[in-house]
Amino acid sequence: MSTTNADLGDPTELSEDQQRAVEAQLFRLADDELVQAERYTFWQVRAPTLESDLAVSNNAQDELGHARLWYDAIQQLGYTEESLIYESDPDDFQHSTLVELPFEEGDWADAVVRGYLYDVAEEIRLAALEESTYAPIRDRTDRIQGEEEYHLEHARSWLERMSLDDDASERVQAAIDKLYPYALTIFEPVGDVESDIEALGIRTRSLDEMRADWAERVDSFLTEQGFAVPTDTEPATPVGRDNDHTDHWHSLHEEMTSTYRNLGRDTATRLMDEDDE
Amino acid sequence: MSSDYDRPRADPDATACSYTDYDTKERAVGDVPATGDDAEGLEREVWSQLYTVEDPEMPVSIVDLGLIYGLELEDGTATIDMTLTYSGCPARELILDDVEAAAESVDGVDDAEVQLVWSPDWSVDLVTEQGKESLREFGMSIE
């Protein structure tokens, strides 16, 4: 391994500070993927073609799978699925506010642009985790990268086609203007723990470096398609990473956990209990 | 909220179910996949049982799909390293249960535990020749 930092070892070997930093990296990964998936499901029956219904459903399932991989890694540190998702206060989540915004009916351009901005960021972030000093993070990146490639291809191909139509172009441009500041929140820090994440080699690139890389790639591709990119924008507020969210997230979390609550659950039931075999 | 980045901690005494009782070794060592070619005795019997477990969506053994990355037997406990073809696999619990049950069905194995590993990443290249043949018969196009 080419990293100069020492391998952090097993989850049980982490010092308190190391664990805090590992958790801070894992929470944003898990929460981003979960909430992105929850929002994608809106389009499963509303996308403009049967093929895109399928594509969006697949993307949502992929993101849920990735969320599960990251939440699994968090559970190795002593958490449970119910405490992480179903019994968590909505303000405990640290996803970027980009992924929690609701869609307006009919605004397919929003879904395409959002997917594109998110997936470019995702690709850059995963590359910065490939050589993580924390094995449970490092070992999950391959699997996820393989499944993410298709998401980007899907988004790019829609953007290319939409750029050829005047009405569609206008809607794409409106979505870029609206979503770009929210996408910038992906690269906002969660707090002072951010410097530990870099110092320990949990992630090998800084948020600033990743944001610059992202901005360049997004700008270059979208400009090529004839769109204007508001590159001098500040990140939107609230940013999400600092646990401050829009009201839209509170409603979504309410909806997401409603069955769990209505049934009076206190555990996230598994398909089969150990004792049932 | 106790700090900017704390999730409320779970009950530290909570007992994890068999699948959250994760082993921390996430990277399979040695060549993958493992197929038990050289196995003898009890180990061979465990491999024979693993071969009977099929993917829920295709009539192909999970061993021939290349999903088993390792098997260790110690004092009647079988530890199986296994991966899945897809991170969002909805049949995950079902497959893991089937694999544990298959290994435990062997006389001399008291307990079996599957450790889910994600590295190296599974790809269709890991499917055995027998597996490829079965997939072709199933109607899939495999080179």
pLDDT tens, A123-140?
999 999 999 999 999 999
Residue span of the structural domain in which A262 resides: 16-267
Q: What is the pLDDT of residue B23?
A: 47
Regarding an ipTM greater than 0.95, the answer is no
Give residue B67's pLDDT band: very low, low, confident or very high (50, 70, 90): very high
Which residues in chain B are contacts of A12 at CB distance < 8 A?
Answer: 24
Q: Kindly state the average pLDDT of the residues A71-77.
A: 96
Of chain A, the percentage scoring pLDDT greater than 70 comes to 95
Contact A225/A159 with Cβ under 8 angstroms? Answer: yes
Q: What is the pLDDT of residue A138?
A: 96
**Domain containing B55 — which CATH number?**
3.30.300.130
Q: Is residue A38 part of a domain?
A: yes
Q: Is residue B138 part of a domain?
A: no
Q: What is the pLDDT of residue A270?
A: 64
DSSP A206: -
pLDDT 10s digits, A175-185: 999 999 999 99
Q: Between A48 and A207, where is the model more confident?
A: A207
Q: Is residue A272 part of a domain?
A: no
Q: Is residue A181 part of a domain?
A: yes
Q: Is residue A7 part of a domain?
A: no
Give how many domains chain A has, as a whole number.
Answer: 1
Determine contact: A212 vs chain B, CB below 8 A.
no
Q: Is residue B58 part of a domain?
A: yes
**Confidence check: pLDDT of A147 > 60:** yes
Q: Which residue has the tokens 């298709």?
A: A150
Q: Is residue B71 part of a domain?
A: yes
Give how many domains chain B has, as a whole number.
Answer: 1
> Would the CB atoms of B101 and A75 count as touching at under 8 Å?
no
DSSP A55: H
Q: What is the pLDDT of residue A103?
A: 95
Q: Is residue B84 part of a domain?
A: yes
Q: Is residue B20 part of a domain?
A: no
The C-alpha of B61 sits at a distance from chain A's nearest C-alpha, in angstroms, of: 21
- Give kind and range of the element (H or E) at residue A51: helix A50-75
Q: Is residue A5 part of a domain?
A: no
Q: What is the pLDDT of residue B9?
A: 63
**Confidence check: pLDDT of A24 > 90:** yes
Cα–Cα distances in angstroms (integers) from residue A139 to residues A53, A98, A126, B65, B120, in the given order? 31, 27, 11, 20, 8
**Confidence check: pLDDT of A121 > 70:** yes
> Would the CB atoms of B118 and A23 count as touching at under 8 Å?
no
> Would the CB atoms of A80 and B3 count as touching at under 8 Å?
no
Question: Exposed, middle or buried: residue B42 (CB in 10 Å: 0-12, 13-18, 19+)?
Answer: middle
pLDDT 10s digits, A219-265: 999 999 999 999 999 999 999 999 999 999 999 999 999 989 888 88
**Confidence check: pLDDT of B24 > 80:** no
Determine which of A19-23, A75-79, B25-29, B72-76 has the lowest per-residue pLDDT on average: B25-29
Give residue B16's pLDDT band: very low, low, confident or very high (50, 70, 90): very low
Question: What count of Cα atoms within 13 Å lies in the side-chain half-sphere of residue A173?
Answer: 13
- What is d(CA A73, CA A14) in angstroms, rounded to the nearest whole number? 13
pLDDT 10s digits, B28-65: 656 889 999 989 999 999 999 999 999 988 889 999 99
**Confidence check: pLDDT of B15 > 80:** no
Give residue B20's pLDDT band: very low, low, confident or very high (50, 70, 90): very low
Minimum-distance CB partner of A143 among B1, B3, B121 = B121
Q: Is residue B50 part of a domain?
A: yes
Three-class HEC string of chain B = CCCCCCCCCCCCCCCCCCCCCCCCCCECCCCCCCCCCCCCHHHHHHHHHHHCCECCCCCCECCCCCCEEEEEEECCEEEEEECCCCCCCCCHHHHHHHHHHHHHCCCCCCEEEEEECCECCCCHHHCCHHHHHHHHHHCCCCC
pLDDT 10s digits, B70-92: 999 999 999 999 999 988 888 89
Cβ within 8 Å of B, A 94-113:
94
Q: Is residue B26 part of a domain?
A: no
- Give kind and range of the element (H or E) at residue A159: helix A135-162
Q: Is residue A158 part of a domain?
A: yes
Which of B5, B95, B100, B116 would you mutate first to test chain A, the one with the most A CBs within 10 A? B5
Give residue A1's pLDDT band: very low, low, confident or very high (50, 70, 90): very low
Contact A92/A249 with Cβ under 8 angstroms? Answer: no
Q: How many CB atoms lie within 10 A of CB A109?
A: 23
Name residues whose C-beta falls within 8 Å of residue A208's C-beta, 6 or more positions apart in sequence: A187
- What is d(CA A187, CA A96) in angstroms, rounded to the nearest whole number? 8
Q: How many CB atoms lie within 10 A of CB B70?
A: 18
Q: What is the pLDDT of residue A4?
A: 62
Q: Is residue A238 part of a domain?
A: yes
Residue span of the structural domain in which B106 resides: 41-133
Closest to A128 measured CA to CA, from A206, A11, A211: A206
Q: What is the pLDDT of residue A29?
A: 98
Contact B121/B76 with Cβ under 8 angstroms? Answer: no
Q: Is residue A208 part of a domain?
A: yes
